[in-house]
A = this chain, B = another copy of it.
Amino acid sequence: MYELFFQKLNEKVAFTNEEQKVITGYLTSKKLRKKQYLLQAGDVCKAIAFVEKGAMREYSVDESGAEHILQFALEGWLISDLYSFMTGEPATYNIDALEDCDLVLLTKSAQGELLKKVPKFETYTTAQITGAYLAMQKRVNAMISLTPGQRYLYFINLYPNIARRVPQHMIASYLGLSPETLSRIRKRLAAAQ
């Protein structure tokens, strides 16, 4: 149970079998069918989700109704509206399943309890969020310093498995491009080789 979760957990911080048993008690599992929501903007994000299997996305919707993908999450990744989770404010982002998913959930209240019982879990949390921050910073740097074509190459190089499993127009959304533009960029890149 939760094999991948504990594998990834122990990669960051080593936990004893005892601790892992305690942690297990605070986790719940959830299955999601393709296209189902885990979270809708306006609702409160009550849990952080770890993807054991499948693919998820997090996105915002602007005034004109267009979706903008902020984040993908494949196996081994965490996903949530962290601001909503931490503050209890309504979420600004939506999260749904791009494929049928097996998730491991850690609810807000479970997290509170867990941090008391297994203080080391905070170290894991810090490591996790630090990694997320650094990745986000790199993405910002790519957005202000690279051309769309370079950004696309950077993306498929960094996340080849996302590129394989996710529709192209969603990658365009993630990169801040129209689907047509990404299609033409790919054509240009293919011709250049």
Say yes or no: is A16 at the interface (Cβ < 8 Å to chain B). Answer: no
Q: Is the CB of A68 within 8 A of B122?
A: no
Given A62-B145, A130-B82, A145-B60, A70 and B122 touching (CB < 8 A)?
no
Shortest Cβ distance from residue A112 to the other chain B in the assembled complex, whole angstroms: 14
Residues of B within 8 A of A62 (CB): 145-146
Q: Is the CB of A70 within 8 A of B136?
A: no
Q: Is the CB of B139 within 8 A of A140?
A: yes
Interface of A is mostly: helix
A141 to B143, CA, bound (A): 11
Could you say which of B83, B134, B176 contacts A83, with CB atoms under 8 Å apart? B134
- Enumerate 11 A-B pairs (CB-CB under 8 Å) in ascending A order: A68-B144, A70-B141, A83-B134, A122-B123, A129-B129, A129-B130, A132-B133, A133-B136, A144-B173, A144-B175, A145-B176
- State which size class the interface on A falls in: 20 to 34
Given A123-B122, A126-B125, A137-B70, A144 and B174 touching (CB < 8 A)?
yes
Q: Is the CB of B144 within 8 A of A176?
A: yes
Given A122-B122, A123-B122, A68 and B129 touching (CB < 8 A)?
no
